[in-house]
Amino acid sequence: MSSKNFEACLNHILKWEGGYVDHPKDPGGATNLGITLATLARYRGRAVTKRNVQALKVAEARRIYRKDYWNEVKGDELPQGLDLVALDGGVTSGPSKGAKWVQKGLGVTADGKVGINTLTRARNAGDLVAVIRKASAARMGFLRKLRTWSTFGRGWARRVADTEAEAVAMATQSASRLQKEADNAQGAGARQAKGARATPLGGAGAALADLPEWALWSIIGVLAVCTLIMALNAAQHARRAAAYREKLRELTNV
């Protein structure tokens, strides 16, 4: 359905992946244009060195992305926009994960393999934007649980927000829908921020004072976690709103 969308999706990937990096905390190790040493070795069918990764050209990276990622998530057969969600998720976490998040967005069995059931549901989805939002939320839920979140989390969160907005722009080509999603994200962020600022104990302070100390600290711990989650959600909604507004400017040339 969207075979002509590969280049647009690839441009989005390369915008985020950039050039050669070898971060000591990145489990993927040496990476260039988003292609890791292990991925390059698998594609070439032989051992490679960091120098080989550093010398990687866009032309070969394009072939790798099409063969090992785009084709794996059935990018040619997914609706435009949803193909980007599957591809970008697949690039950062593996094609199976990218497929699973799309499947969760569609409400089908998340087995990590894009087959006839997934494609049929995708083609008949009443609101692709809602599917994209749900898939992006599932991806964020996974990323937040990773050990390396404290190091890479902010960048991942920005990327997921930008990918969601770009996918919606691809799927709709509608300025009014982008504006609506930006407003919805801003409203959701405001509600989460308000909840995070609210006094957790409220008017229950007197009753809680009668609890054993261990129980009181348990409750405080739970409330602290809830407050942190709301704060994280508020920050992500703010990123989403900003990303949607940026896509709106690009679409309208304002």
Cα(235)–Cα(231) distance, integer angstroms: 6
Give me the mean pLDDT over the 190-204 stretch.
67
What is the structure's pLDDT at 122?
Answer: 97
Give Cβ neighbours of residue 82 (< 8 Å, ≥ 6 apart).
Answer: 102, 105, 122, 125, 128, 131, 132, 135, 167, 171
Residue 29 has pLDDT above 80, yes or no: yes
Cα(119)–Cα(75) distance, integer angstroms: 10
Cα(157)–Cα(149) distance, integer angstroms: 10
Q: How far apart are the first and last CA of the chain?
A: 30
* C-alpha distances out from residue 58 to 13, 55, 84, 89, 244, Å: 12, 10, 19, 20, 28
Q: What is the pLDDT of residues 92-107, one digit of tens each?
A: 999 999 999 999 999 9
Task: Grade residue 229 by pLDDT with cuts at 50, 70 and 90.
Answer: confident
**How many CB atoms within 10 Å of residue 172?**
19
- Given a contact cutoff of 8 angstroms between Cβ atoms, the answer to whether 82 and 70 are in contact is no
Burial class (CB in 10 A: 0-12, 13-18, 19+), 192: buried
Cα(189)–Cα(194) distance, integer angstroms: 9
pTM, entire model: 0.87
Residue 176 has pLDDT above 70, yes or no: yes
What is the structure's pLDDT at 158?
Answer: 96
Task: Grade residue 130 by pLDDT with cuts at 50, 70 and 90.
Answer: very high
Query: Mean pLDDT, the chain, as a whole number?
Result: 89
Residue 3 has pLDDT above 90, yes or no: no
- Given a contact cutoff of 8 angstroms between Cβ atoms, the answer to whether 243 and 161 are in contact is yes
Cα(254)–Cα(246) distance, integer angstroms: 10
Copy the structure tokens of residue 134.
Answer: 């749900």
Cα(191)–Cα(212) distance, integer angstroms: 33
Alpha helices in 36-127 (DSSP H): 37-44, 50-54, 58-64, 82-93, 95-106, 116-123
* C-alpha distances out from residue 243 to 16, 41, 159, 235, Å: 14, 35, 9, 12
Task: Grade residue 202 by pLDDT with cuts at 50, 70 and 90.
Answer: very low
What is the structure's pLDDT at 203?
Answer: 45
What is the structure's pLDDT at 10?
Answer: 97
What is the structure's pLDDT at 60?
Answer: 98
Residue 129 has pLDDT above 50, yes or no: yes
